[in-house]
Structure 1
Amino acid sequence: MKPSIPSLISTALLLGSAPFTCAERLLKSTSLNPCQTNNNFSATLFDVTFTPQNRSLAFDVVGVSSITGNVTIELIVLAYGLNVYKTTINPCDSDDFQGLCPMNEGQINLNSNADIPASSLKQVPGITYTVPDLDAKVQVYFNQTSTGTSAACVEAELSNGKTVDQKGVAWTIAVISGLALVASAITSGLGHSNTAAHVAANAMALFGYFQAQAFIGMTAVSLPPIVASWTQNFQWSMGIIRVGFLQKLATWYQRATGGTPSTILSNLSSSSVRVEKRSMQVVEGLMKRAISQLHNMAINKRSNAGSDQTDSSTQVIVKGIKRVGFRASIEPTNIFLTGYIFFLIFVIFVVLGVVIFKFVCEGLTKAGKMKGEKFQDFRNGWTTVLKGILFRIVLIGYPQMIVLCFWEFTQKDSGAEVVLAVFTIFPMLAILGWASSKVIRLARRSIAMHKNPAYILYSDPVSLNKWGFLYVQFKATAYYFIVPFLIYILVKGLFIACAQGSGVAQAVALVVIEAVWLIAVCVLRPYMDKKTNAFNIAICVVNFLSAIFLLVFSEVFGQPGIVTGVMGVIFFIYNAAFATILLVIVLVASGIAIFSKNPESRYQPMRDDRGSFIKSQSQLTTELDALGATARGESKHGFHTTKSGARIEDDDDSWSGSGGSSDRTPQVTQSQTAYTGAGGFGHAGNDGGARHLPPYDRTGSMTSSQGRFRQQGASPWQRGAGYE
């Protein structure tokens, strides 16, 4: 008996990753695509399903042919780019293909449910039915019997219904990321500033890694199936989330503002959508009823007998950002507005959450169900906290809006959407740029006055709540590192958004960008401590490795297909493992921060001694404490504002009670003079007499132990800040 199509197809599935559990084993193909020019056969319907449990092959094929005469069918089975099987079938010798002997011009209908012999099933490895996102296909050549030349070539992509693109995975990742951010906010409100800073830094780094994975999926490189599916799990971080009524709203808005919505998803029954995979010759059809146009542009214009259906069909190739939108069932013209709407929704929900939490805290306090000191800083200055949270949201949405807004400039879906992009991305760049310059000015003022950037950056709660999101994750001497970070994201996002026409250019650019960033982070080690540096360096290493894999996927090296296929599986394995490890680390840290009675004990004090300057650190008893209290303007009665209302974070240089004084000289109290003398900070630091004044503890007594500590040399602030 001649080999049957299912047995040949099944032989292709020889490679794979770890098996996924499945309810029903099957192999299917729902698309038929061209694999050569000058084809003379096209299919308007192609649906083939092989079910091993009952050994049945159900196929339904409707096509249009301009081939006449007897042909032989040559089948080539490819798995992960490797040619694993090849055979030739004579339709005249097979009962299943009598409709092709001989072939005639016009429409061809093949509809059958064939039985597969048990001997053929033994050739199929069990892993075939469970490996996700198979990279396998069958190519079929129709060769003229008389001449041996190929009259047409079509290929069928294979699937077992298993994929790593799972909504459950995407939502789980999103929820854990959100919980980590919430945990850091609650921990900060409870006064555990060190713990909150660590949890927030790790959560932001994790979120950045997810966005980097989404960037990979948005490139115009033809990705292996498993890579395209894996990166699709992270597109929620870019706002690519399908909600039915929002799609209708986006389409309405585009029409109302003069745009023309695309209709790719609504016309799947009359157009063929080719989603780029591993190369221009390896494509995946993602719809059940699609027409594969087998002619190139020149052949399409030629009139063939009985080819009315073929001529009326259209073919659309989607790649890059459009591929991501198509896989999410979002029209290409709705991608920008979808991401924009979800960014606004995120902002609104966060603002509402903060306001509701404020009223809940006040209600519980008045009802006596919550102690008055709980979240006291938040309740007293919640508007300032809200401003800082809004700035943080801008930073979180920065990569998303960089890509979507600049991509919209290339698409011009409608005039109003272009205006939205302009008035979103440029103010966002201005806000982050101004905030970064503000931090740099505060740090430089602190260095000039006190030889330590942490002094001013952490002493004023208004400055810390407003601008802290830009520098708390870094050590004090690396306050400026937010600027390189913003530039890194900007350049990376510009290549993703504006270089959609060349996947190779994007891949090369990402390798260079990630290499430079990895070197910068490894050399400078700008983050707050060793653990946070290790966490971020690990992410940079994985991002750089992913960029190298992306360059290989672009086929710039011309490697064999098997190399690309296997590297696609490796890409999924190491990224899945790494993402799991990061999620566990962040989840455990968040849980400890919320449920531990003393989460601060898990973290060592920062070397820049920022904790000594942060408000409400009553547990500290060293000489650092009194200077921190003085820097904050605290007395024994608590924190107070200046008479003129001037703050450290104001643009003027005053930070004393006489904010309107012309010389802008800080007022120095007796206790502050003692501390500046002991620590070597401020204007009084050069006064030799002041240096011999003993430190002043909380009770007003002078201790000999503190005196000995003072005589040991340079201040620990200077040593911790890197000035030794």
Structure 2
Amino acid sequence: MRFSTSPATYVIASLLAFSPFSSALRMIESSSLTPCQANSSFSATLFNVLFTPDNKTLFFNIVGVSSITGNVTAELLVIAYGYQALKEELNPCALGWQGLCPMNTGQIRLESNIPISDDVLQKVPGITYTIPDLDGKVQVFIKDANTGVSVACVEAELSNGKTVNQKGVGWATAVIAGLGLIASAITSGLGHSNTAAHIAANALSLFGYFQGQALMGMTAVPLPPIVASWTQNFQWSMGIIRIGFLQSIATWYQRATGGTPSSVLSDLATTSVSVQKRSLDVLNKLYMRAYHQLHGLTGRATGAPATGTAAVTVIHGIKRVGFTAGIELTNIFLTGYAFFVIFTVFVILVVVIFKLVCEGLVRAGRLKGDKFQDFRNGWTTVLKGILFRIVLISFTQMVVLCFWELTVRDSGAEVVLAIFTIFTMLCILVWASSKVIRLARRSIAMHKNPAYILYSDPVSLNKWGFLYVQYKATAYYFVVPVLCYLLAKGMFVALSQGSAVVQAIALVILDAVLLIVVCIIRPYMDKKTNAFNIAICIVNFISAVFLLIFTDIFNQPAIVTGIIGIIFFLLNVVFSFVLLLMVLISSIIAMFSKNPDTRYQPMRDDRGSFIKSQSQLTTELDALGATARGEEKAGYRNAKAARIEDDDDSWSSGSLERQQQQQQQQQQNRGANAPRGPSDLSVPTYPNDSGALHGPPSYRDSPSGTSSPAPGGRAASVRSDRFRTQGPTTTTTTTGPSPWQRGAGYEH
């Protein structure tokens, strides 16, 4: 029976044939042989088969263990994407296969080059040699020559040497994601806070999308080969990266702490390892499930079946990811943990070195004194904020690895390390989130706008801003549901490795809930950022639905699963390319443009009105902005007066006397540099005629009646007839809402 050549198959094959995974050499190979029948009387400890149609030869090297005696025949089946592409009856005696005519109990070794006829070559479809990560296998049924009863069955996964799992893809995605974070840090240091916030938000969302792809590869769902290979490209985001000496250190640490390292990679010559993929028929799936339960092959250690045949290890989920990356199964946790520590130390060294370099260049006169001034004056606070950001970025990775370590328990010390790490990270993020919520609520109570306190204090912004700058001011709390989503998703992946259906259903529900919430609330800073993240949520939800289909819960035909696997790959590869291109272009423009903020509209929550003034603003506008925030122009120079992050020492929660003293001190410090007239009255809070406190007055208008841009980028005009003096106390009458009550969430 020939392989089906439907129009859809030709379209998919044509798209993939022009991919960079194609090569001139055509071949089909296999290096793993597993039983496919209950009570199979033959298994292989070594299995290497290479078929080269251009040379018309089939080379094989097989070492197996048999409990069969007598003459046998073999039936060869080649199955691709659920369809039987080839069926041949083989007579070992007629072919001269020594060891199979007749078969004897004990070890059998076969090594030969067999010429293949043109008739057989024509039965293999051409797309078999071009599609990367071929979803095919060959089954061999060994039958008694006299009775025709099958006494053994073995199967091997087929590969044509082409795969979408490429190191270049992993490097490209990692470099571009890192470039976005670096560009954000540089533009922030240069004073372009709006650009930095946009690039950072998109880069973090891109990194989260990569981690979502990696999580799908870590599930226990039997994935089509092309899906498993594609998700393997993003395992770097989970710290699954092989380095030789690091593996040696991990093995030594495990032995030193009472653990027993696995030896799957070192025993490949004597142990057949089957990387779990999508099963192509129901009978095989039922058998493999019974086989695992009978012999305990889903555990970490390899073991021989009770029949005395060779050892077979079937791996899936997180083990499959580690094995494909060349990492021993017992070293997966320590490998991911080590890269988390290495990355953290590396970032600390980069920040310290950058601080020293900047100071050296300023003293040498090669860098202007106002460049990276905020960073140089408060670099320790910036470093704290960066470390908090690392905790947030690595949260998904450590949730999966730490909770998974609790189930496999490589060693006592590693279990303790996992518990300490995950609960420390949870405490840090819970504390930071609660801090942001308290600051925002205090700002709403006093100023009717959460953006006032969240963005007016540079210490709070640098330390806690990683949790809320990507959201609009009224959605400051949205980091809490996001963290809950990441925690639940990671725990299902880590703790449900024995149930693929549970994992798939959980991911569908979680991604659907997140998509609905994001579409309704639209919590991100502007329309473009919302569209960016909604698109990611949509693709993640579709991918989760595909993942559920891969579990065969709907009992769909095998060809449907194979085609959906290719669609999964095409959808995500195109979407990843678009996201990478957007982040790359934004990062390049931000680093080489003189004023990248012109590409982005001011935030509707007026955060720009509260962020510390930059040196490029005019003296009058700078004084207005500084007075409105209650801070000095120098920023960190008067950090104690501007500090509102501490609960016990902040003018937002202090007494009226403290606030009045600060106002007087600020007016004295401004002196002659501050503009005279009604603009001096724009202070955070001040008493009216009745002695009650109310919010700061509007600074839309100037005495001259001419319009000028406000610090937040809004047009401002002042009309002198709206100001009146009553004795020694001057008050102002304004029309329209205060700028502290403008922005997203306050228009209606």
TM-score by length of 2: 0.86
1:471 positional shift: 0.4
* 8 A contact 2:460–2:644 mirrored in 1: yes
Identity %: 65
Match of 2:738 in 1: 715
**CA distance 1:646–1:196, shift in 2 (3 Å):** closer
Deviations along 1:95-139, one digit per CA (max 9) or x if unpaired, are 354653443434433322222234543444443222111111111
Report the secondary structure of 1:317's partner residue.
strand
Match of 1:148 in 2: 148
Match of 1:521 in 2: 518
Q: What code does the residue aligned with 1:703 have? A: G
1:611 positional shift: 1.0
Match of 1:111 in 2: 111
**CA distance 1:81–1:694, shift in 2 (3 Å):** closer
Match of 2:390 in 1: 393
* 8 A contact 2:70–2:103 mirrored in 1: yes
Q: Which moved more, 1:669-678 or 1:68-77?
A: 669-678
Q: What code does the residue aligned with 1:269 have? A: A
Aligned-partner Cα distance in 1 for 2:45–2:137: 19
Q: What code does the residue aligned with 2:39 have? A: N
Q: Which moved more, 1:371-380 or 1:70-79?
A: 70-79
Q: What code does the residue aligned with 2:743 have? A: G
Deviations along 1:245-300, one digit per CA (max 9) or x if unpaired, are 1111111111111111111111112222221111397999xxxxxxx9x9888799
* 8 A contact 1:405–1:421 mirrored in 2: yes
Q: What code does the residue aligned with 1:723 have? A: Y
Q: What code does the residue aligned with 2:190 have? A: L
Aligned-partner Cα distance in 2 for 1:540–1:8: 37
* 8 A contact 1:259–1:414 mirrored in 2: yes
Does 1:27 pair with 2:57?
Answer: no
* 8 A contact 2:51–2:58 mirrored in 1: yes
Report the secondary structure of 2:277's partner residue.
strand
Q: What code does the residue aligned with 1:233 have? A: N
Q: What code does the residue aligned with 1:121 have? A: L
Q: Which moved more, 1:30-39 or 1:504-513?
A: 30-39
**CA distance 1:57–1:277, shift in 2 (3 Å):** same
Match of 2:301 in 1: none
Match of 1:265 in 2: 265
Does 1:61 pair with 2:42?
Answer: no
**Equivalent of 2:638, from 638, 641, 645?**
641
- What is the root-mean-square deviation in Å for CA atoms of aligned residues? 3.6
**CA distance 1:63–1:686, shift in 2 (3 Å):** farther
Report the secondary structure of 2:308's partner residue.
helix
Deviations along 1:7-49, one digit per CA (max 9) or x if unpaired, are 9999xx9975602222522111122211111212222332211
Match of 1:75 in 2: 76
* 8 A contact 1:443–1:453 mirrored in 2: yes
Report the secondary structure of 2:370's partner residue.
coil
Match of 1:44 in 2: 45
Match of 1:580 in 2: 577
Aligned-partner Cα distance in 2 for 1:660–1:715: 23
Match of 2:713 in 1: none
1:467 positional shift: 0.6
* 8 A contact 2:194–2:600 mirrored in 1: yes
**CA distance 1:109–1:410, shift in 2 (3 Å):** closer
Aligned-partner Cα distance in 2 for 1:646–1:220: 52
Q: Which moved more, 1:151-160 or 1:478-487?
A: 151-160
* 8 A contact 1:222–1:280 mirrored in 2: no
Work out the number of aligned pairs and report it: 700
Q: What code does the residue aligned with 1:50 have? A: F
Aligned-partner Cα distance in 1 for 2:124–2:477: 59
1:619 positional shift: 5.5
Report the secondary structure of 2:570's partner residue.
helix
**CA distance 1:692–1:47, shift in 2 (3 Å):** closer
**CA distance 1:136–1:282, shift in 2 (3 Å):** farther
Gaps in structure 1 of 5+ consecutive residues? 285-291, 301-306
**CA distance 1:673–1:21, shift in 2 (3 Å):** farther
Deviations along 1:418-453, one digit per CA (max 9) or x if unpaired, are 111122111111111111111111111111111011
* 8 A contact 1:242–1:330 mirrored in 2: yes
Q: Which moved more, 1:539-548 or 1:621-630?
A: 621-630
Q: How does 1:431-470 map onto structure 2 within 5 Å? A: 431-470=428-467
**Equivalent of 1:425, from 422, 427, 440?**
422
Q: What code does the residue aligned with 1:225 have? A: P
Deviations along 1:350-384, one digit per CA (max 9) or x if unpaired, are 00000000111111111111111111111111111
1:462 positional shift: 0.6
Q: Which moved more, 1:139-148 or 1:705-714?
A: 705-714
TM-score by length of 1: 0.88
**CA distance 1:502–1:283, shift in 2 (3 Å):** same
Q: What code does the residue aligned with 1:561 have? A: A
Aligned-partner Cα distance in 2 for 1:130–1:228: 18
Does 1:605 pair with 2:602?
Answer: yes
**CA distance 1:160–1:668, shift in 2 (3 Å):** same
1:701 positional shift: 4.9
Q: How does 1:238-257 map onto structure 2 within 5 Å? A: 238-257=238-257
Q: What code does the residue aligned with 1:18 have? A: L
Q: How does 1:154-553 map onto structure 2 within 5 Å? A: 154-279=154-279, 311=308, 313-553=310-550
Deviations along 1:376-400, one digit per CA (max 9) or x if unpaired, are 1111111111111111111111111
Aligned-partner Cα distance in 2 for 1:489–1:692: 39
**CA distance 1:265–1:626, shift in 2 (3 Å):** same
Report the secondary structure of 2:426's partner residue.
helix
Comparing both chains, which one has the higher relative contact order based on Cα–Cα distances under 8 Å and sequence gaps of 6 or more? 1
Report the secondary structure of 1:100's partner residue.
coil
Aligned-partner Cα distance in 1 for 2:230–2:24: 21
Aligned-partner Cα distance in 2 for 1:688–1:597: 48
Aligned-partner Cα distance in 1 for 2:645–2:381: 12
Q: What code does the residue aligned with 1:606 have? A: M
Aligned-partner Cα distance in 1 for 2:523–2:107: 68
**CA distance 1:722–1:687, shift in 2 (3 Å):** farther
* 8 A contact 2:52–2:58 mirrored in 1: yes
Aligned-partner Cα distance in 1 for 2:96–2:3: 15
* 8 A contact 1:677–1:685 mirrored in 2: no
Report the secondary structure of 1:265's partner residue.
coil
Aligned-partner Cα distance in 2 for 1:313–1:660: 79
**Equivalent of 1:652, from 641, 648, 652?**
648
**Equivalent of 1:18, from 10, 16, 19?**
16
Aligned-partner Cα distance in 1 for 2:134–2:489: 30
Aligned-partner Cα distance in 2 for 1:421–1:693: 50
Report the secondary structure of 1:266's partner residue.
coil
* 8 A contact 1:69–1:102 mirrored in 2: yes
1:148 positional shift: 2.6
* 8 A contact 1:455–1:613 mirrored in 2: yes
**CA distance 1:496–1:666, shift in 2 (3 Å):** farther
Aligned-partner Cα distance in 2 for 1:279–1:666: 75
Aligned-partner Cα distance in 1 for 2:551–2:321: 17
Deviations along 1:526-571, one digit per CA (max 9) or x if unpaired, are 0000000000001111111111111111111122211111111111
Deviations along 1:687-719, one digit per CA (max 9) or x if unpaired, are 799999986699x85536523699551134423
Report the secondary structure of 2:742's partner residue.
helix
1:87 positional shift: 3.6
Q: What code does the residue aligned with 1:531 have? A: K
